[in-house]
Structure 1
Amino acid sequence: MLTDDLTPRRRRSAGRLIGGYGLLALAVILFAVFALVLPDTFPTMANLTAIVSAYSIIAVLALGAMIPVVTGNFDLSLGYGLGLWHVTTLLLIVNAGWPWPAACLAVLAGGLAVGAVNGLLVELARIDSFIATLGTGSILYAVTGWVTHGARIFPGSQGLPEGLTGLYDSTILGLPTPALYVLVLAAVLWLVLERLPVGRYLYVIGSNPRAAELVGIPIRRYVVLAFAGSGLVTGFAGVLLAAQQQIGNPSVGLDYLLPAFVAALLGSTTIKPGRANPWGTVVAIAVLAIGLSGISQLGADFWVTPLFNGATLLVAVGLAGWSARRRAHAGRSLP
Structure 2
Amino acid sequence: MTPLRPPRSPLGRRFGHLVGAYGLVALTVLLFLAFSLALPDTFPTLDNVSAVLSNHSVPAVLALGVTLPIATGKFDLSIGYGLGLAHVVTMQLIVAEGWLWPVTCLVVLLGGAVAGTVNGLVVAYARIDSFIATLGTGSVMYAFTGWITDGARIVPGPHGLPAAFTDLYDSRFLGLPVPALYVLALTAVLWVLLERLPLGRYLYVIGSNPRAAELVGIPTRRYVVRAFTGSGLVVGIAGVLLAAQQQIGNPSVGMDYLLPAFVGALLGSTAIRPGRANAPGTLVAVTVLAVGLAGIGQLGAQFWVTPLFNGSTLLIAVGLAGYAARRQLQRRRAQPSRPVPEPPGTAS
Tell me which interval the TM-score lies in, with the shorter structure as reference length: over 0.9
Q: Distance in 1 between matches of 2:332 and 2:233?
A: 34
Displacement after TM superposition at 1:173 (Å): 1.2
Opposite residue 69 of structure 2, the aligned amino acid is P
Displacement after TM superposition at 1:191 (Å): 0.4
Q: Distance in 2 between matches of 1:132 and 1:7?
A: 44
1:61 matched residue in structure 2: 62
More helix by share: 1
2:148 matched residue in structure 1: 147
Q: Distance in 2 between matches of 1:159 and 1:296?
A: 30
1:115-154 equivalences in 2 (<5 Å): 115-154=116-155
Give unmatched runs, 5+ long, in structure 2. 1-5, 337-348
1:206-263 C-alpha deviation (Å, 9 max, x unpaired):
1111111011001111100000000000000000000000000000010000000000
Secondary structure of residue in 2 paired with 1:248: coil
Q: Distance in 2 between matches of 1:313 and 1:263?
A: 8
1:152-195 C-alpha deviation (Å, 9 max, x unpaired):
00011021011110100001111110000000000000001111
2:207 matched residue in structure 1: 206
Displacement after TM superposition at 1:330 (Å): 1.4
Displacement after TM superposition at 1:12 (Å): 1.2
1:76 matched residue in structure 2: 77
Displacement after TM superposition at 1:7 (Å): 5.5
2:107 matched residue in structure 1: 106
1:1-335 equivalences in 2 (<5 Å): 8-334=9-335
Matched-pair identity in % = 69
Q: Distance in 1 between matches of 2:36 and 2:210?
A: 46
Normalising by structure 2, what TM-score? 0.94
Displacement after TM superposition at 1:15 (Å): 0.7
Q: Distance in 2 between matches of 1:331 and 1:165?
A: 48
Q: Distance in 1 between matches of 2:140 and 2:335?
A: 48
Q: Distance in 2 between matches of 1:62 and 1:6?
A: 37
Opposite residue 193 of structure 1, the aligned amino acid is L
Give unmatched runs, 5+ long, in structure 1. none
Opposite residue 322 of structure 1, the aligned amino acid is Y
Displacement after TM superposition at 1:6 (Å): 9.0
1:40-69 C-alpha deviation (Å, 9 max, x unpaired):
000000000000010001100100011100
Aligned residues: 332
Q: Distance in 2 between matches of 1:212 and 1:186?
A: 26
Displacement after TM superposition at 1:272 (Å): 0.1
Q: Distance in 2 between matches of 1:49 and 1:288?
A: 15
Q: Distance in 1 between matches of 2:132 and 2:8?
A: 48
Q: Distance in 2 between matches of 1:270 and 1:78?
A: 23
2:339 matched residue in structure 1: none
Q: Distance in 2 between matches of 1:311 and 1:8?
A: 35
Q: Distance in 1 between matches of 2:58 and 2:7?
A: 46
Q: Distance in 2 between matches of 1:243 and 1:301?
A: 28
Q: Distance in 2 between matches of 1:191 and 1:65?
A: 16
Opposite residue 70 of structure 1, the aligned amino acid is A
Q: Distance in 1 between matches of 2:59 and 2:8?
A: 42
Q: Distance in 2 between matches of 1:320 and 1:198?
A: 22
Residues 99/34 of structure 1: CA separation in 2 closer, same or farther (3 Å cut): same
Q: Distance in 1 between matches of 2:8 and 2:308?
A: 41
Q: Distance in 1 between matches of 2:123 and 2:306?
A: 32
Secondary structure of residue in 1 paired with 2:121: helix
Q: Distance in 2 between matches of 1:25 and 1:208?
A: 32
Displacement after TM superposition at 1:333 (Å): 2.1
Residues 206/296 of structure 1: CA separation in 2 closer, same or farther (3 Å cut): same
- Mean Cα deviation higher: 154-163 or 303-312: 154-163
Q: Distance in 1 between matches of 2:151 and 2:63?
A: 26
Normalising by structure 1, what TM-score? 0.98
2:343 matched residue in structure 1: none
